[in-house]
Amino acid sequence: MTISHHVVRNFSWWGIWGTSPSPPTSSADTAPSPPLPPPEISAATGSPPSSSFTPQAPTAAQEAALTGSNDVAGSAVTDVISLSDSVQISSTLYTGDHIGDLVNLGLVHWTPVGAVEVLLEQLHVNLGLPWWTAIVLLSLLGRVIIAPLLIRSQVNNVRLAKIRPELEKLMQKLQEAKARGDKISVNKNALASRQLFKENDCSPTRSLTAPLVQLPIALSCFIAIRKMSELPVESLKTGGALWFTDLTVADPYYILPLVSAASIYGMMDVST
């Protein structure tokens, strides 16, 4: 029996919905499109490759930031140049021949070193002394100030040397008493040693007073003169004498260092 196409259509599932499905598409319609050639192939064929990047002009904020950074760098360079120029101008204007020049050069402060610099400036300007004479005179003034302490120290050393034999005997007895554990003898010899110091008006610690006072004064003078020569103060370049006319440079013949070392050794030898 032959069933017509109309009957088969009525028994299909699509007939339930009252519509028929769309006819299937052909393989020719669903075939994928061929891929685009790479940029190299396009360049070879003569067509330029497509690019999605488009350069844009900088915004106003970016231009302001770039201009600001250039201004900061330029101002920093200008400040450095102006600072170096001001230092050179200051060293030329403030030669150290007038009161206040060392302050303007940034040397004088509320320290012992600053006090030495002020005294040197006063001697050089007010008394009209050359720098080397002012330095020598300041050294002599320092020695005069501490002279009473030095004399007292020397007298104390002489008295200690006088009682040294008797003191050594007491110290020996004291050590023997400590070795035996005899506390009574230890106290007795210690009391005798203190009595010996008191009777002769001397003390081992009294000899340390002068060096403890002299050391900071000597260091302050040394540091002050070194800072003035390292700056340098212009008038120091011609403030010397004989072979050391320039006080900003070292002695080329090492005469001054040798004389200084010899004098220190001599004072130490005399004090002992």
CA nearest 173: which of 152, 191, 151, 155?
191
Q: Note the pLDDT tens digit of each residue in 189-222.
A: 889 989 999 999 898 888 888 888 888 998 999 9
In sequence order, which residues have a C-beta less than 8 Å from that of residue 163 and are 6 or more positions away?
196, 197, 200, 202
Task: Give residue 252's pLDDT.
Answer: 86
Counting as low any pLDDT under 70, the low residues of the chain are 1-93, 270-272
Torsion of CA 83, 89, 90, 96, to 10 degrees: 160
Q: How far apart are CA 233 and CA 231, in angstroms?
A: 6
**The tokens 């005069």 sit on which residue?**
144
pLDDT at 63: 57
CB count in 10 Å sphere of residue 239: 25
The predicted structure's pLDDT at residue 42: 42
Q: What share of the chain is helix, strand, coil (3-state, %, to 5)?
A: 70, 0, 30
The residue ranges of every structural domain in the chain are 80-155+211-272
**Contact between residue 97 and residue 236 where contact means Cβ atoms under 8 Å apart:** no
Token pair of 214 as six digits = 């002299």
3-class state of residue 244 by DSSP = strand
**Which tokens hold the place of 57?**
């002009």
